[in-house]
Amino acid sequence: MASIFDDANYPAYTMSTAAGLLGVQPGFLRSLGDGGLLHPARSDGGHRRYSRHDLAMAERARQVVDTGMNLAAACRIVQLEYEVARLELELAQARAQIAELTA
């Protein structure tokens, strides 16, 4: 049985844990939020709580920054990459549905 702790969207990681796992500074993670790429959940006291999905996005952003992009550009690029991936999936599903209906 699936637990909410298995959900990639469950906000399980504190700032220091997330930064440690990714090998980045806390400030980098925070700036990804300012750049509109991440919207981490908050604890009752206002501390950021990152999900595995947040971590995956942050990791990709780090890669893009490493290629020389500034932070704002990296946030935009990763955001667009994510949207393209989502649209590709949606297109594939739509095509599969068409194939089934026209069979």
DSSP reduced 3-state for 11: coil
Please tell me the distance from the alpha carbon of residue 2 to that of residue 89, in angstroms, as a whole number. 24
Q: Which residues of 30-61 are buried (b: 16+ CB within 10 A; e: fewer)?
A: ebbbebebbebeeeeeeebbbbbebbebbebb
Of the candidates 59, 101, 95, the residue with the CA atom closest to the CA atom of residue 78: 59
Q: In this complex, which beta carbon is closest to DNA, that of residue 21 or of residue 85?
A: 21
Q: Is 78 a residue that touches DNA (CB under 7 A)?
A: no
Q: Is 66 a residue that touches DNA (CB under 7 A)?
A: no
Select from 3-11, 15-23, 59-67, 93-101 the region that touches DNA (CB under 7 A).
15-23
Q: Which of 9, 16, 70, 93 binds DNA (CB under 7 A)?
A: 16
Sites for DNA among residues 26-45 (CB under 7 A): 26, 30, 43-45
Q: In this complex, which beta carbon is closest to DNA, that of residue 47 or of residue 95?
A: 47
DSSP E strands in the chain: the ranges are 41-42, 48-49
Select from 5-13, 14-22, 65-73, 93-101 the region that touches DNA (CB under 7 A).
14-22
Residues that bind DNA (CB under 7 A): 14-16, 19, 26, 30, 43-48
